[in-house]
Structures are given as structure tokens and as C-alpha cells.
Amino acid sequence: MKRIGILTAGGDTPALNATILGAVHRANQLRLEVYGIIKGFSGLLNPEVPHVHLNPLFTCIPEIDPTHGGSVLGASRDYVDGDDKETIAQVADRLARLKIDGLICVGGDGTLNGMQPLCDYLPTVLAPKTIDNDLGLNYPDEPTEWVRETTDNPKKFRYHRKLGREFELEEMINFATPGYATAVYVSAQSIQRIRTTAESHRRIAIIEVMGRDCGMIALGTAYGQPDMILITEHPVDPDALVERVVSILDVQKHAVICVSEGIRDTQGRILGAVTASKDPAGNLQYTGAAEALKKILVDRLGDAFFTHKRRNESADAAIFVRKIGHTQRGGRPILFDRFYASQLGGKAVDLLAQGYQNCVATLQYRDGGFILDSVDGNMLRDRWGEVHYRPLSPTFYDPKRFMPSVKGVRYLETIFTNALGPDDVESIRSLFNTGNLTHPYLSVNVDINKRIKRLQEDA
């Protein structure tokens, strides 16, 4: 193996550059050339395959900064359709013409699915990333619990899961994924900030976090001490919700509720999904969880509840919603993400160099610490070959308190106790550098563009 390719697919995370840097450093040691493919799978679908040589003379190009969020290579949600054999053959041919002997895809469950058709053509390894923390398994036999149902479209299926089993934290495949810790850090901080304004104005704040179908980010926001956390995996029961909100209001006159964007009602319908659309990878984009929850509270409590005791002028005025949005996916990654992202990038290179195929680099929890390991990509697929997201285990959540369970707390503290480094704290001071006022933002895209090469169709 002389030359490997690397691409960053799906939604970005703050730790992607750290993964790329870890991969390039390890490749330098092994004397492997690394070509970065621009904009994820979209770069491979482009006949010119725009790419950048990331380590000329086995030295890393200076643009790769592990403290900078996003990806120097750019990201996209395009993917290679497994049924489109012609396109797959074209992609394989392009990679062969670039003399790429192995490919690292930095991504999540969607990327692993997208990588499968390429596995028959060249060695491939997934280096994990996702803020949703839904790549992997709660326990090894989890893929067997998925059930598939047919739909009106013969090519589309609906999947759901049987109830999961108890498990030890050591059983988890891929304990935590780079990107998650930073997303939780930003979200928990936002909750702390919104708290004090809700407190003084006697309001109910509903704060929506990302995570798609997985409540991991919402669970982690417990560090910001919201009064209630609603996760995707536990359906919203309006009676229990209202009862808890009223009891909180009675005591402290305000409430802070964190909701995961994918929350569902007791019939399993996504709350606020009325306007949901799909991204190119076919994922539903969730839009209105917080608003839907507000509507339940406004309808159930009514104006009188707020006006009677002079709590506020109306239910609508008393309840406000905020989305943390893409702030939780951008900016400087915190130490946990940077460190393990670069380790996993290096591990992915080792796996390719050692001849592994369709493999996933993983972070495992063992004897009170973390180790790097790997699993066969096939292990994450169900009996029909589909890779599913990892749901937040119900054992991590206490639905009576709307808070992490004892086990959930143990899971979180394992990740977060030393997740922030002194440099993360110090970096906050750089916001008020006077230079920020006088120097425009210099996008890394400008310098990367100068390095992009293209595969000539006739080469």
C-alpha cells in the first residue's frame, strides 16, 4: 500500500480536522501518501475527483488545524447508491486511476452504509465521527433486534426495534464518537445561559438540541442542569409532562426543558415533523420539536394558569423556544474530541496498512479507561445488510425524573470528567483579541483551493 484516500462524509463535526491530522501523522510514519477527497462522497461522484495531497514529502500541509472545527476537505451528504452498479464501477475506476489503494471514510452510520458498495473494490475503513453519538452498538447482538417492514415503495422499508436488553458499559461498541463531547459542551452551556433569563422573567424555556433519532446529546445536557430532559427514545406523555412542569413551576416559578429534536408521541409519531423534509442521504430533517412541545403546554395549561397567579400575561408569552442549532456542530473541538479523533484517525490508517477491509475504528471502554480497537463493518449491519443508528439505551434514562438514570450518569461521567483541557478554557480569552476587530476571517478554503488537483478524464 502506497497511497490512501480520506474523505469526510455526512454532516460535519468540530473534530474532523483532528481525525484527518491523526491519519496524516500516522501515514507519515508509515510512509504512505494521503489524498484528501473534496466534499465527501460527492467528490467521488465527480468525474474529476477534486483532491488534495495532504502530505507531500510525508509532511502534513499546514492547513490542517486540529483546533479548528469543520473539515478542510469539506463535507456533503451525497452517498454512493449501492444499487447503482454503473456509478460504483465508475467511482472504483476513478480511485484506481488516482492509484488510491485504500480509503478512509470519516463518518457515522450513514457513511458506513454509503461505504459498503465500495468495499468490494478496495480496502475501506471507517473513522468514526458524529455529534449524535449514534454510531456503534449498545451491545454486540443489537443488530439482530431490528425488525423490517415493507412499505408502499418496494425499495423502501420501515425498521423498528424490539425492546433492548441490559448491558455493561464495557460491552458498548464504540463508546463515544468524536464530535459528541463538543456538541454536549455547547448545548449544556447554552442551557446554563438561558436558565438565568428564564428564571428572572418567570418563563418556561424549551431548548431543542440535535441528535436526530438518538437522545444522546439531550442526555448530556444534564451537565447544564435543565429541569427536564425529553429524549427521542421515550415517548412524550402529555399528562406526565404537564404534571411535572406544574410541580416545577410551583416551586421555582420557571422551568427549563431540554428536548431532543426527534421526540415522539405515544403513537410513535415524530412531534413537529409536519414540515420535515429529507436530505440527499434520505434522512428526515427534524424541524419543530420545541414548538410542538410548546403547543402541548399552551393548550394544556391555558392562559388562565399564567394570568390567575400573575405568572405571566398569557401562556404564549410565558413559554419560549430556542434551538441550539448548528452552534453545537461548529467551532473549536474540546480536548476529548480532539484527542480521540486524532487517535482514531491514526488507528484507521493502521487498519488499512494491516490489511483490514470494511472495518470500523472504535473507542472502547475497558478497566476504567479508553482503548482503541476495531470491529468488522459487517458486525454493525442487520440481517438485511443495513447499518442502523445506535439508540440511546432506555437504561440510561429515568422517565419519572426526566433525567439521566444512575447508569446514564456513569456513562456521561466516563466521557466528560476530564473532557475539557486547560487550553480549551484559555481559548475563550481569544474572542476579545483586538486583531479580531481589524482582520477579516481567513477561510481555510482559500488556501485549500490552491492545492486542489483534478483527475483528468483522459489521463
By annotation, the residues acting in catalysis are 132
Residue 338 is a binding residue for ligand F6P (CB under 6 A) = no
Chosen residue from 329, 381, 388, 390 binding ligand F6P by CB under 6 A: 329
The site string for ligand F6P over 242-271 (x = CB under 6 A, - otherwise) reads -------------------x----------
Task: Report in angstroms how near the CB of residue 15 gets to ligand F6P at its nearest.
Answer: 13
DSSP code, position 102:
E
Task: Name which of 294 and 329 has its Cβ closer to ligand F6P.
Answer: 329
Task: Report in angstroms how near the CB of residue 270 gets to ligand F6P at its nearest.
Answer: 12
Stretch of 136-144, 188-196, 209-217, 353-361 lying at the interface with ligand F6P (CB under 6 A): 209-217
Burial (CB count <10 Å: 0-12, 13-18, 19+), residue 184: buried
The candidate with the shortest Cα–Cα distance to 161, out of 378, 381, 388, 380, is: 388
Task: Name which of 333 and 346 has its Cβ closer to ligand F6P.
Answer: 333
Q: Which residue has the cell 475563550?
A: 428
The grid cell for 275 is 414540515
Determine which helix (DSSP H) or strand (DSSP E) holds 255, and give its type and residue range.
Answer: strand 255-260
Concatenate the DSSP letters of all residues of 336-397 into one string. HHHHHHHHHHHHHHHHHHTT--SEEEEEEEETTEEEEEEEEGGGGB-TTS-B-PPPPPGGGE
Stretch of 111-119, 126-134, 332-340, 450-458 lying at the interface with ligand F6P (CB under 6 A): 126-134
Task: Report in angstroms how near the CB of residue 238 gets to ligand F6P at its nearest.
Answer: 24
Task: Report in angstroms how near the CB of residue 382 gets to ligand F6P at its nearest.
Answer: 20
The site string for ligand F6P over 36-75 (x = CB under 6 A, - otherwise) reads ----------------------------------------
Residue 392 is a binding residue for ligand F6P (CB under 6 A) = no
What's the rounded Cα separation, in Å, for the pair 235 and 381?
A: 26
Chosen residue from 48, 81, 279, 382 binding ligand F6P by CB under 6 A: 279
The grid cell for 61 is 500541509
Chosen residue from 6, 27, 115, 131 binding ligand F6P by CB under 6 A: 131
Task: Name which of 218 and 319 has its Cβ closer to ligand F6P.
Answer: 218
Question: How many Å separate Cα 69 from the centre of its chain?
Answer: 13
Task: Name which of 13 and 28 has its Cβ closer to ligand F6P.
Answer: 13
Task: Report in angstroms how near the CB of residue 415 gets to ligand F6P at its nearest.
Answer: 18
Determine which helix (DSSP H) or strand (DSSP E) holds 309, and give its type and residue range.
Answer: none
Determine which helix (DSSP H) or strand (DSSP E) holds 90, and give its type and residue range.
Answer: helix 85-97
Task: Name which of 14 and 43 has its Cβ closer to ligand F6P.
Answer: 14
Residue 212 is a binding residue for ligand F6P (CB under 6 A) = yes
Concatenate the DSSP letters of all residues of 19-50 into one string. HHHHHHHHHHHTT-EEEEETTTHHHHHSTT--
Task: Name which of 126 and 351 has its Cβ closer to ligand F6P.
Answer: 126
Residue 281 is a binding residue for ligand F6P (CB under 6 A) = no
Task: Report in angstroms how near the CB of residue 113 gets to ligand F6P at its nearest.
Answer: 13
Structural contact between residues 188 and 256, judged by C-beta atoms closer than 8 angstroms: no
Task: Name which of 186 and 241 has its Cβ closer to ligand F6P.
Answer: 186
The values of phi and psi at residue 92, to 5°, are -60, -40
Task: Report in angstroms how near the CB of residue 291 gets to ligand F6P at its nearest.
Answer: 16
Task: Report in angstroms how near the CB of residue 279 gets to ligand F6P at its nearest.
Answer: 5
Task: Report in angstroms how near the CB of residue 366 gets to ligand F6P at its nearest.
Answer: 28
C-alpha distances (whole Å) from 263 to each of 89, 141, 227 are 40, 26, 17
Task: Name which of 286 and 416 has its Cβ closer to ligand F6P.
Answer: 286
When CB distances to ligand F6P are compared, the closest residue is 210
The site string for ligand F6P over 286-325 (x = CB under 6 A, - otherwise) reads x---------------------------------------
User: Parallel, antiparallel, or unpaired: how do β-strands 146-150 and 277-278 relate?
Assistant: unpaired
Structural contact between residues 156 and 407, judged by C-beta atoms closer than 8 angstroms: no
Q: Please count the other Cβ atoms lying within 10 Å of the Cβ belonging to residue 241.
A: 18
Chosen residue from 23, 127, 210, 412 binding ligand F6P by CB under 6 A: 210
Q: At what angle do helices 16-29 and 335-353 cross, to 10 degrees?
A: 40
Residue 26 is a binding residue for ligand F6P (CB under 6 A) = no
Question: How many Å separate Cα 283 from the centre of its chain?
Answer: 13
Residue 211 is a binding residue for ligand F6P (CB under 6 A) = yes
Determine the length of the chain.
Answer: 459
Task: Name which of 261 and 350 has its Cβ closer to ligand F6P.
Answer: 261
Alpha-carbon radius of gyration of the chain: 23
The candidate with the shortest Cα–Cα distance to 36, out of 458, 452, 459, is: 452
Residue 11 is a binding residue for ligand F6P (CB under 6 A) = yes
Applying CB under 6 A, the residues found at the interface with ligand F6P are 11, 130-132, 210-212, 261, 279, 285-286, 329
